[in-house]
Amino acid sequence: MSEKITVGISDYKASKAPHTIVTFALGSCVGICLYDRVTKIGGLSHIMLPDSRSFSSREINRKKFADTAIPDMVNEMRRMGVGNNRIVAKIAGGAQMFEVQPGSKIGAVGERNVESVKRELARLRIAIIAEDTGLNFGRTQYFDLETGVMRIQSLNRRIVEY
C-alpha cells in the first residue's frame, strides 16, 4: 500500500516504491529528489541554507545545509541498496520570495542554495535530469517513488511533472 511521507524544512527522508515523498513551502529553500530507477529507492531533502562551514559543527542540523544533507541522504540510500552510479537528481525551489536591495546577499539565498546544490551534486557525480528553480513563487514538491516523477504544485499555476 502506498504511503505519503512528509519532509519538513531542514529534513530529508529516503524510502522505496510505492511511496510518495512530499515537501511543502519551498521558497528560497531547495528540494532535492534523488532516485535509483532500478531499485525504485529515492529520497527527498528540503535544504534551507547552502553551506554549513560557517556554523559550529556541534550546533548544526546536518539536514539544513546542501553540503551535508545531500551526501548524508546518498549514504542512507546506499545502505538501502542503491547502486553507486545509478542515482539521478531532480531539484526545485530556490525562489527569491521578497524584493530586496540590489546586491544584498540576503536576497540571493535562493540562488545561492541552487548553486550549492548543483555544486554538491556535481561533486558526487549525480546528474540533474530535471529542474524547476528560481523566479518568485513557492512550490510544493511531490516525488513518486514508483515512477520517479517529480510533481510541482504552486498557487495559481498549473501543476508540472518532470
Q: Which domain holds residue 145?
A: 4-161
Average pLDDT value for residue range 16-34:
97
Q: Which of 131, 130, 155, 141 is nearest to 20 (CA)?
A: 141
Domain at 130, CATH number: 3.30.1330.200
> Which residue numbers are catalytic?
29
Model pLDDT, residue 83 = 84
> What was the pLDDT predicted at 54?
78
- The structural domain count of the chain equals 1
- Over 90: is that where the pLDDT of 59 sits? no
79-93: per-residue pLDDT in tens? Answer: 999 987 899 999 999
Q: Is the pLDDT of residue 75 over 80?
A: yes
